[in-house]
Amino acid sequence: MNYEESIKRLQEIVELLSNEKLPLEESLKLYEEGIKLTNECYKTLKEAEQKITILKTETDTEDE
């Protein structure tokens, strides 16, 4: 699942947990899925941030 799909699924989970009267077991499963997706999205963003930092550093070095 890519970043955009993960975000979309997270939005679905939030809506389900907010608007539905779900059994506790199902709510816990959705919560667990949401935490996993959040961690994956955070990791993806951190990797992108590191790439940008490297590219910026390389560009700054080339400009000197």
**Which of the pair, 59 or 42, is modelled with greater confidence?**
42
| pLDDT at 61 exceeding the cut of 90 | no
- Average per-residue pLDDT for the chain: 93
Mean per-residue pLDDT, 33-46: 98
Looking at residue 60, its pLDDT comes to 76
| pLDDT at 17 exceeding the cut of 90 | yes
| pLDDT at 63 exceeding the cut of 70 | no
Q: Classify the C-alpha dihedral 26-19-6-45 as positive or negative.
A: negative
Domains of the chain as residue ranges with CATH:
3-63 (1.10.287)
Sequential DSSP letters for 5-31: HHHHHHHHHHHHHHH----HHHHHHHH
